[in-house]
Amino acid sequence: MIGLLRRLAQSVWQYPLPAAVVLVLLVVTGWGGTAVGRHIWAQYHYRAAQQALDRRDFGGAREHLAQCLRAWQDSAEVHFLAARTARRAGAYDDADYHLKECEHLGWVAEALELERALLRAQRGDLAEVEGKLLTFVDQGHPDAVAILEALARGCLKAYSLPRAKHCLELWLAREPDNVQALLWRGEVHRRRFSHQEALADYRRVVELDPANDAARLQLAELLLHTRQIDEAVGHFQLLHQEQPENAAVLLGLARCLHQRGDDEQARRLLDRILDASPSDVEALTERGKLAQETGLPDEAERWLRQAVALAPYDYRATYALYLCLQTRKPAEAGIYLARLKELETEQMRMGQLLRQIGEKPHDAALRYQVGMIFLGSGQTTEGLRWLQTALQEDPHHQPSQQALARYAANAGP
């Protein structure tokens, strides 16, 4: 029996067994309720949490750590790993809780200070911590990769793309094949309209991790955007096999098929999306464009009017409706042409502001202006996010405070 327990403990530590197997063995051996049994159980979950973190399975890691803490509730080490895991999962309140527990249990003060700085950085509150964290990286801190990950996420959240790219380059210099770093760098390139660089990063991610459907979808959509239709179709078809009801996959595949001239199959895919989600603006717009290009202007007008009614600030839908009405109802088309010019002016202003933010990432006034454009166009979530980043850069920025207060007052309880 003792030998069995010894082998069980060793296997749990080196090669974590399924939880049910560990539980059965503990019950069979009669050690399930003893201190040794609880220790083995906690060891299993701690090791499993570490393996989940290696896969970036933050949800799974958090579940294992919660089980571990049932036996080791006074372990500062486990609370610290739980805090770091919660932060990486975006569960910031839980991260705060575990850090307080670590402090109460006497964990290393320097480690706690660093983790709190990473928590601020990842939330986009970069002003007071970014310089110090980059200094740690330059000095070869053992947590350099964790620091760069948090900084990159924070910079992406704050739309500080040059700073995000700098952090990701430093990260990839240390880990050239890190899938997450490549994926985020691809996102930076895409947001900066560096499409070839973005494609290179997305292709590399899919090569390293063929099962990464999110990366494959981003690759497929960018290939479609750059009119590399044949390559895009292959990726969309693979995704369709794995996710046959995913609206984004169906839409992308429909667009590809339409580009290839397979209009009937494209129509069927779009109708599947709209059967499930009648208010899908992108599918409505694509359905209207397809009807217009196949000689069904009345049907096209019906689809496109629905899209514009749902999203009056959507440029693609408005432009498609303008084209549909241009020859048949020129007076009404003129109204939409004027609206298109307004949208183009807003887009140009937004582009200018984003370029300025790239040069002056801490300028709260610029961020406020972006937020107000989004709010004015009905994109409330993005607008509020930008106003909040303005206050992160300058907590006393009155226009942002007033705009958020007005929104809160109008939103009601």
Residue 72 lies in a domain: yes
User: Which structure tokens are listed for 100?
Assistant: 């307080």
Range of the domain at 83: 1-107
Q: For the segment 313-339, what is each residue's pLDDT rounded down to a tens digit?
A: 899 999 999 999 998 899 999 999 999
**Short-list 246, 180, 191, CA closest to 215:** 180
Residue 5 pLDDT: 43
In a domain, residue 88? The reply is yes
Domain assignment of residue 40, yes or no: yes
Tell me what the mean pLDDT of segment 225-239 comes to.
96
Query: What phi-psi label fits residue 275: left (phi over 0), alpha (psi between -120 and 50 degrees) or beta?
Result: alpha
pTM over 0.85: no
Domain presence at residue 99: yes
pLDDT digits (tens, 9 = 90+) for 48-77: 999 999 989 999 999 999 999 988 899 999
Do the domain assignments include residue 230? no
**pLDDT at residue 277 is higher than 80:** yes
User: What is the pLDDT averaged over residues 342-368?
Assistant: 87
pLDDT on residue 235: 97
* Per-residue b or e along 163-193, where b marks 16 or more CB atoms closer than 10 Å to that residue's CB: bbbbbbebbbeeeeebbbbbbbbbbbbbebe
Tell me the per-residue pLDDT of 356-408, one tens digit each, with 9 for 90 and over: 887 788 888 999 999 998 888 778 888 888 888 888 888 899 999 998 888 88
Q: 240 near 250, Cβ under 8 Å?
A: yes
Number of domains in the chain: 1
Residue 54 lies inside a defined structural domain of this protein: yes
Tokens found for residue 346 = 């807003």
Give the pLDDT confidence score for residue 71 in this predicted structure.
86
pLDDT for 42: 84
Cα separation, 219 vs 134, in Å, equals: 31
- Looking at residue 16, the DSSP 8-state letter turns out to be P
CATH number of the domain residue 69 falls in:
1.25.40.10
